[in-house]
Amino acid sequence: MHLQVGDVMAKIDDWLQKDKLILLEGWAREGLTNEQIAKNIGINQATLYRWKIKDSNICNALKKGKEVVDFEVENALLKSALEGNVTAEIFWLKNRRKLQWRDKVEDYTTSNELTKVDELLAKISEEAKNDIKR
């Protein structure tokens, strides 16, 4: 598979070599976007997307690099929250304990649902009365 961007010829097979996969992982770990990584390779972002689908080695290298950064940021956020950074604490709680810490508490009960519950309770009560009479 050959793809040409300007004067640069990029070939997927070249990027399946161990050293190139490590380079891809490193770029992802450094926080580069897929668009920036594609530019470094000499291809467009759509081509990188096709490469990720075509070969799991490329997909996994990028994913592995990004996961490392995500864990590092999570650890830094947690450390900052535990050290008393109120903004970090709020962010952590709103994302990790959404039901307890979200800004807007939603009431999902509608009047239609309450009417159905009332009707069901009336029916149960009526059936109970009929059972007692028998």
Q: Could you give the 3-state DSSP secondary structure of residue 96?
A: helix
Q: Evaluate if residue 128 carries a pLDDT over 90.
A: no
The pLDDT tens digits for 39-57 are: 999 999 999 999 999 999 9
Distance CA 38, CA 15 (A): 11
Higher-scoring residue by pLDDT: 26, 100: 26
Distance CA 51, CA 12 (A): 7
The pLDDT tens digits for 8-31 are: 457 999 999 999 999 999 999 999
Q: Which residues of 46-59 are buried (b: 16+ CB within 10 A; e: fewer)?
A: ebbebbbeebebbe
- For the chain, which domains are there? 2-101 (1.10.10)
Is 68 in contact with 26 (CB distance < 8 Å)?
no
Per-residue confidence (pLDDT) for residue 32, from 0 to 100: 95
Q: Evaluate if residue 1 carries a pLDDT over 70.
A: no
Reported confidence tier of residue 105, pLDDT bands at 50, 70, 90: low
pTM of the model: 0.56
Query: For residues 80, 81, 82 and 83, what is the CA-based torsion angle, rounded to 10 degrees?
Result: 50
Q: Which of 62, 51, 39 is nearest to 11 (CA)?
A: 51
The pLDDT tens digits for 86-95 are: 999 999 999 9
